[in-house]
Amino acid sequence: MGLGGGIRYGWAAIKVTESGGTATINIKKWAYDDSGAAIRVGDTGAVSADLPAELTMLNLLGLGAVGLAAFRRRRDKLLAETETA
């Protein structure tokens, strides 16, 4: 089952935690709509339990990339501050 064309909207509330150099991403809430109508963050009226596996995997990979980028930026900033101190 492919993703097809068209506009899709969605949101996710995530929590990123770091412990011992390992980042963990937890998805607290999420919603998705493929009708082309925009949804607001926090609106869970369009949650669908039968999402295609490819879409779910792409969302998780995207959220993981965002979390990893944030973790690396924070780590690099802390390293730069300790080197200049």
Read off the pLDDT of residues 18-42 as tens digits, 9 standing for 90 and up: 888 788 888 888 777 766 666 666 6
Tens-digit pLDDT string for the chain (85 aa)? 345 566 677 778 888 888 887 888 888 887 777 666 666 666 666 555 555 666 677 778 888 888 888 899 998 988 888 888 6
pLDDT reported for residue 67: 87
SS3 content of the chain, % helix, strand, coil (to 5): 40, 25, 35
pLDDT reported for residue 42: 64
Ramachandran quadrant class, 6 (left: phi over 0; alpha: psi -120 to 50; beta: rest): left
pLDDT reported for residue 64: 85
